[in-house]
Amino acid sequence: MPKSFLSLLILALIPCCIEIDISVPSFPEMSNYFGVSEGMIQLTVAYNFLGFCLASVIYGPLSECYGRRKIMILGNAILLVGAAGCVNAPSIHWLLIARFIQGIGASTSAVVVFAIISDVYHNNPNNATKSVGIMNSIITILIAIAPVIGGFINKVIGWRGNYFIVTVISFISWILLLIFLPETKKALEYFDLKKITNDYKKLFYSSKFLSTSLVPSLLYSAYLSFVCCASFLYIEVFNLSIMIYVLHQAIIVGSFSITSFFCSKITQKFGTKKCIKKSMALCLLGSLILLIVSLVTPNSPCLITASMVIFCISFAICYPILFTLSLEIFPNIKGTASSAIMGMRALLVSAFVGATSYWYNGEIILISLVILSTVGLSCIFTYNLYKTGELF
């Protein structure tokens, strides 16, 4: 895959990947601006992922029938409309609707980009894993920088400035996709609702597919549950400045980024099976340490950040391995598989973030229990893969 092509795919992913991290430093200010509760502001993430979930289940099958290029261009246009709506939101209800529309558009790249990679490397899954790892590392570097940029923009311009940045990037990305994105799905299929339904049944009846796709999705839900509460926790509870908060956030996301960059080398050295096993054990360790910290020293931001670093490092190791494997289980319906994965992920994120936002009371113990529960479920699914021999 040419570097310019990979760069184009990364650019398409940037708006849907940074839209949350760049905006979370503004959550306290947005709460004051609209005169609403912290939970209502956190719902901007839940609504975003609800739109993401509903749309992602159709983008994959549509890309199988009408091509990856057309669906990418259409979906990213919707993303641009939603992003512009956020910038001009006069009320919290307008903002929630705009975030919902933005989620509908953001799911396009999240679904179709990985189907494109799978198209290009259909005979070489190792290169597919390497490409996913590279994309994760670059994207997460930008995500790590996003809260810093968001905090600075919020301080200088205000919360609308963060959504404006996303709008600009969405516009540039859409124009470049329109000009340069080639079609990678050579053999298009007829739109057949019965076939699409049967494809989804095939996916959801497969325990191997469900397990390999649910593990990274659950861990991602845990991470976002923390992120959505972190700005209130660090700024309002710990009384840190917004720039010190974004530094903590950058360290957490940066740990994921650095690990993702070296993921392929780590996998080559230790082997896929051992990497998944050790990373899940490390995930469990990080979540247990976070729970202990929340019980013993709940007002220690440094220990909380350190616990999340352990969690993110382990998450970054298993994520590209399991994600690539989940797309290769049914190689003839990769677009539908990608839709199913992203749809389940968005639904889980929306549910976990919504529940965490509703019950959040300013204490870290709730967040630590959410993270521990998701890691526990992930360990059960991983154990099932090993026990049944379905992983290898």
What pLDDT digit, counting tens, does each position of 137-182 carry?
A: 677 677 767 877 888 898 888 999 999 999 999 999 999 999 999 9
What pLDDT digit, counting tens, does each position of 299-343 carry?
A: 999 999 999 999 999 988 888 888 888 878 888 787 788 788 888
The answer to the question of residue 184 being in a domain is: no
Given CA atoms 54, 58, 63, 64 in this order, what sign does their dihedral have?
Answer: positive
Nearest alpha-carbon partner for 391 in 256, 271, 284: 271
Nearest alpha-carbon partner for 73 in 88, 85, 63: 63
The answer to the question of residue 79 being in a domain is: yes
The answer to the question of residue 189 being in a domain is: no
The answer to whether 327 and 118 have CB atoms below 8 angstroms apart is yes
The answer to the question of residue 167 being in a domain is: yes
What pLDDT digit, counting tens, does each position of 59-87 carry?
A: 888 988 899 999 999 999 999 999 999 99
Range of the domain at 34: 3-179+194-388
Rounded CA separation 383/377 (Å): 10
The answer to the question of residue 146 being in a domain is: yes
The answer to the question of residue 290 being in a domain is: yes
Q: Percent of the chain at pLDDT above 70?
A: 95
Which tokens hold the place of 268?
């080559």
What pLDDT digit, counting tens, does each position of 180-229 carry?
A: 999 888 878 787 888 888 988 999 999 889 889 999 999 988 988 888 88
For residue 390, what pLDDT band results from cuts at 50, 70 and 90? low
The whole-number pLDDT of residue 21 equals 79
The whole-number pLDDT of residue 289 equals 96
Domain count, the chain: 1
pLDDT at 245 over 90: no
Rounded CA separation 65/68 (Å): 9
Rounded CA separation 266/211 (Å): 22
Nearest alpha-carbon partner for 291 in 203, 212, 199, 368: 368
What pLDDT digit, counting tens, does each position of 279-290 carry?
A: 999 999 999 999
What pLDDT digit, counting tens, does each position of 20-61 carry?
A: 878 888 998 999 999 998 889 988 988 998 898 889 888 888
Q: What is the CATH number of the domain that holds 14?
A: 1.20.1250.20
The answer to the question of residue 186 being in a domain is: no
The answer to the question of residue 185 being in a domain is: no
Which tokens hold the place of 378?
């992930």
For residue 125, what pLDDT band results from cuts at 50, 70 and 90? low
